[in-house]
Amino acid sequence: MCGIVGILGNEAVAGPLVEALRRLEYRGYDSAGIATVENGSLDRRRAEGKLVKLENCLSEAPLVGHTGIGHTRWATHGAPNEINAHPHVSGDVSVVHNGIIENFRELREDLEKSGMEFSTQTDTEVIAHLIARTLKGGATPEEAVEQSLSKLEGAFALAIIFAGHDDLMIAARKGSPLAIGYGDGEMYVGSDAIALAPFTDTITYLDDGDWAVLKRDGAVIRDRAGRQVERAKVKSVASALMVDKGNHRHFMAKEIHEQPEVLSHTLAHYLDFSEGRVDRSRFDLDLGAIERITISACGTAYYAGLVGKYWLERWARIPVEIDIASEMRYREAPMEKGGMALFVSQSGETADTLATLRYCKEEGQHIASIVNVRESSIARESASVLPTLAGPEIGVASTKAFTCQLAVIACLAIAIGRARGHISEETENELVMALAKVPGHISTILRDESIFEKISHDLSHARDVLYLGRGVSYPIALEGALKLKEISYIHAEGYAAGELKHGPIALIDEDVPIIVVAPDDDLFEKTLSNIQEVVARGGRVTVLTDHDPDRIGADAENIISLPTVHPFATPLVYAVPVQLLAYHTAVFMGTDVDQPRNLAKSVTVE
């Protein structure tokens, strides 16, 4: 979603604001802007498109104020243009906002009746007008913000500055994440620690409903009831160096290539390789007492959960229900007391997942989460947190976070299966050793990408692409299709291979490439039959497999031979080839790989 940054500094803040916004580009955006307090007045610069356009504006008309706020906008209300770009200004107030104000229409009608004039289509402008109107009534900035916040419905993170107040900034959070940073005589606000990393490593994460009054000597934080509260200061591990592309053309390429390392870290956190077992102390759960698991997530994280359903039911012999968070939260599913609800999210701020978590908590479920950001909302509201160790993921299309999620779920499945007596010590050792080999398998795949480049060049000319898989390979087919359409904009669909004859086979002709995820497992022969059905109808098949290519023979147009993998570990390994196919296809097509159109990294609104 949108990125927010604010600085109460001791010198001109325009340059640092732009650099901080650059570190938030991974969230996705369509316009950008900054506003500062200069000689007691507000001034701002905004531009449609990428940050370079904002930099050009600042080169032509610099801002020199020491207090300022900045924003990268991902449009929700109103077109992505300069008029709708943040910051918004009304009288002596300037606001940047992440989220959606659900009752903005009612508020706008009321404000217009009182004579306030609107110049944008955004919901954010009502916030600026609300505060400005309250200020005109004689309220202080703090009083005006507090009264205005009580009128807002929806999710938001706000940073607000005021004309005539060089040493004041107010931040507020409801739903959308926001952090405060502490410097030496300076204060900062940011959507996350990555934005603030070059300025400070001392961070306070606002709780839901908090609002804070910042001055250069510190911050006073109040909760939703207006009570002054203390929130913990933590040392952030985020670093400006972590978001460098290194020698790679795109962040996505860098993150694909980081997978052997981050998977090694994640697996080492949960496994004792020397003993060939899962370190069950890493799970803050009564593993043997779990009788039922409900998994909920969105997007790529949902596909990780879908793989988890196969693993948990097969190896832990425990019933698992899984649903997309945006569906589950509204169908009010009945839940038996004592079950565990497991939530999967890279950012830990996904709005639908967080809302579903709260529903499950009300239903008496033990809440566990798999997240990449330990300080996130989902992590803080979970009874048990299972961290991934992927590090910051900048590319919008998830790669290393996905495989790290799979790694954690795989370890959890083994741990529960062992605790429940469904996995022997010998089998545990076998599965742990299979996981231990995954980083090496992925390194082997990444050594030579030429075959992926060749096939991707052909895929870049396709209009439609189908992905097929069986068993745990079915979610990988879904994920492959999602990756391709996310970053190349080619229409792609994933199907369970056994469903081919129930409709999708009608789509097959010589113009539709078929990607088949076909590891050498107990379902391979059935998958091979599906390949033959496709070829018989003129389909152009590319097979991802560790089976003997001669067994497939001339049935496939392309065979990508992969390392021999234990069937348990195939989802982790086979995720990488579908990532590479999507990446190189998008590169050939010249799309914005790291920031694909209409998408955002952290979806903090419905």
**Would you say the CATH fold of 443-599 matches that of 246-436?**
yes
Closest CA to 494 of 293, 302, 256, 260: 302
E strand or H helix that includes residue 564 = none
**pLDDT at residue number 220:** 98
**pLDDT at residue number 2:** 77
Considering the candidates 2, 298, 360, 404, report the single residue annotated as catalytic.
Answer: 2
**Averaged over 311-321, what is the pLDDT?**
96
Q: Are 88 and 128 spatial neighbours (Cβ–Cβ below 8 Å)?
A: yes
Kindly report which listed range (161-175, 233-247, 302-316) carries the lowest average pLDDT score: 233-247
- Domain 246-436 top-level CATH class: alpha beta
* Percent of the residues in the chain that have a pLDDT greater than 70, as a whole number: 96
Angstrom distances, CA of residue 344 to CA of 215, 356, 408:
37, 11, 10
The 3-state secondary structure of 57-116, one letter per residue: HHHHCCCCCCEEEEEEECCCCCCCCCCCCCCEEECCEEEEEEEEECCHHHHHHHHHHCCC
**pLDDT at residue number 329:** 82
The residue with greater pLDDT, 80 or 14, is 14
CA torsion sign, 226 to 232 to 233 to 235?
negative
The string of pLDDT tens digits covering residues 267-287 is 988 988 878 899 998 998 899
The string of pLDDT tens digits covering residues 323-342 is 999 999 888 888 988 899 99
Give residue 244's pLDDT band: very low, low, confident or very high (50, 70, 90). Answer: low
Q: 601 an active-site residue?
A: yes
Extract the tokens encoding 183.
């410097």
E strand or H helix that includes residue 534 = helix 524-536
CB neighbours of 471 closer than 8 A, spacing ≥ 6?
310, 521, 523
* Alpha-carbon dihedral angle through residues 87, 93, 98, 102, given to the nearest 10 degrees: -120
**pLDDT at residue number 440:** 87
The string of pLDDT tens digits covering residues 32-59 is 999 999 999 999 999 999 999 999 999 9
Give residue 241's pLDDT band: very low, low, confident or very high (50, 70, 90). Answer: very low
pLDDT over 60 (residue 113): yes
Question: What's the predicted TM-score (pTM) here?
Answer: 0.79
Q: What are phi and psi of 323, to 5 degrees?
A: -150, 150
pLDDT over 80 (residue 28): no
CB neighbours of 595 closer than 8 A, spacing ≥ 6?
25, 26, 28, 29, 396
Extract the tokens encoding 512.
């539709």
Q: Are 68 and 7 spatial neighbours (Cβ–Cβ below 8 Å)?
A: yes
According to the CATH classification, is domain 3-243 in 3.60.20.10? Answer: yes
Extract the tokens encoding 570.
């195939």
pLDDT over 90 (residue 141): yes
- CATH superfamily for domain 443-599: Glucose-6-phosphate isomerase like protein; domain 1 (3.40.50.10490)
**How far apart are the C-alpha atoms of 150 and 146, rounded to whole Å?**
7
The string of pLDDT tens digits covering residues 502-558 is 887 878 888 889 999 999 988 888 888 888 888 878 788 999 999 888 777 667 888
Considering the candidates 174, 400, 483, 601, report the single residue annotated as catalytic.
Answer: 601
**pLDDT at residue number 443:** 85
Domain boundaries, the chain: 3-243, 246-436, 443-599
Q: 404 an active-site residue?
A: no
**HSE-up of residue 602 (Cα within 13 Å, Cβ side):** 31
Rg (CA), the chain: 25
